Chains A and B, each alone.
Chain A
Amino acid sequence: MRRSLMLAAMAVLAFPGLAAAQAPAPAGAAEWIGPFAILAAGFALAFAAGLCALGQGRAVASAVDAMARQPGAAARIQTAMIIGLALIESLAIYVLVVAMILLFVQPIG
């Protein structure tokens, strides 16, 4: 079981190298970086989006809880919640920017 998993993982990880071997690479550049950059961008954004959703979910849950307890302070809580959500989301946005750099710019590739 474990061996087959490991083989599968190795096959997945080896594939971009094979794909790159067929494409002509520019001189001096490591040819496997491009495909791995795409993989890294996808995985990074997946992790970032999932964890960001967890964090934002917690923030919204407690904000809604507070708003239900104190409807009078709902406007202030909502403002604070939106600012907090923006600060949490900006971390995921950093990963998005890094992913876009990996996809479109590829500084080391």
Chain B
Amino acid sequence: MNVIEHPPIFRLPDVPDHVTYTWLIMIGLTVVAFLATRRVALVPTGLQNFFEVVIEQFFQIIDDVLGPEGRRFLPLIATLGIFILVGNLLGLVPGMNGPTTNLNTTAACAVVVFLSYHWIGVRKQGALTYLKHFTGPVPLALKPLMFVIEIISHLARPLSLTLRLFGNMVGGHILLAIIFFLMGLDGLLGWALSGSAIGVVVGGIGGVVMMVFTIGFLYPLKILVSLLQAFIFVMLTMLYISGAVEESEHHAEHHADHH
């Protein structure tokens, strides 16, 4: 990757790039949030208007999945969503580095989600009741087996959150780098400039086609994937929280149905 791509323009010595750009996003988002809420008006204009739309979108999907009482978790969910979205999109800006293309950033987000949904579940139901629901509605003899299976499936959640975001971002990045730099710039345009007659025709046309394909198709696709992955991360976070919070009611209903 580093062989193909130009390193990011802004680097701090002795600090990894993804950390630098995470700090940059943190500073940027804080400044923007401060500017948007500096003079809060009843009839919003400009930046405040934009952010109200964003927060209302978050409220809407929270209401869909968690219900109105899930609005307490807006800080967690919206922060993760906006950070991941900006991180994904920053990776597409030339000369910048997206922090979500590094495994450490996505793992940090996933671990935050993992710890907080368990914490929310324990706070809501108490530690013993919460632990009991790992066994599920099965006969007593099967409960130890269910417990182990559930523990493994819960441990797989942060892993899959981490790898999904990381893999999608890095996969798209490698695709973009190979098609644009390796095939387009280095391969075909290099062939065109090498001086042979076939090279000028084939390499020139092929290079232009590659660039139009990259900018016209792959770049919008990557933007779509960035939005989609941020949405999926937020959506799965909410599903996990709703699983941790609502399991007791679900369990009770199940029992009521049977008896």
Contacts and interface: CB of A to CB of B under 8 A. Distances in A.
Interface of A: 76, 79, 82-83, 86-87, 89-90, 93-94, 96-97, 100, 104
Interface in B203-237: 228, 231-232, 235-236
A100 B166 CA distance: 12
Interface of B: 1, 64, 160, 163-164, 166-168, 170-171, 228, 231-232, 235-236, 239
B171 A96 contact: yes
Contacts of B232: 82-83, 86
A50 to B, nearest CB: 16
Contacts, number: 36
B236 to A, nearest CB: 7
A87 B167 CA distance: 13
Contacts of A76: 64
A90 B166 CA distance: 10
Most buried by B among A76, A82, A86, A94: A86
Contacts of A100: 170
Contacts of B239: 83
14 contacts: A79-B64, A82-B231, A82-B235, A83-B232, A86-B236, A90-B163, A90-B164, A93-B163, A93-B168, A94-B163, A94-B167, A96-B171, A97-B166, A100-B170
A83 B236 contact: yes
A90 to B, nearest CB: 4
Contacts of A93: 163-164, 167-168, 171
Contacts of A79: 64, 235
Given A79-B235, A83-B239, A90-B160, A96 B228 contact: no
Nearest to A94: B163
A38 B160 CA distance: 24
A94 B235 CA distance: 20
Closest 8 CB pairs of A and B: A93-B167, A90-B164, A86-B232, A96-B167, A97-B167, A90-B160, A96-B171, A97-B163
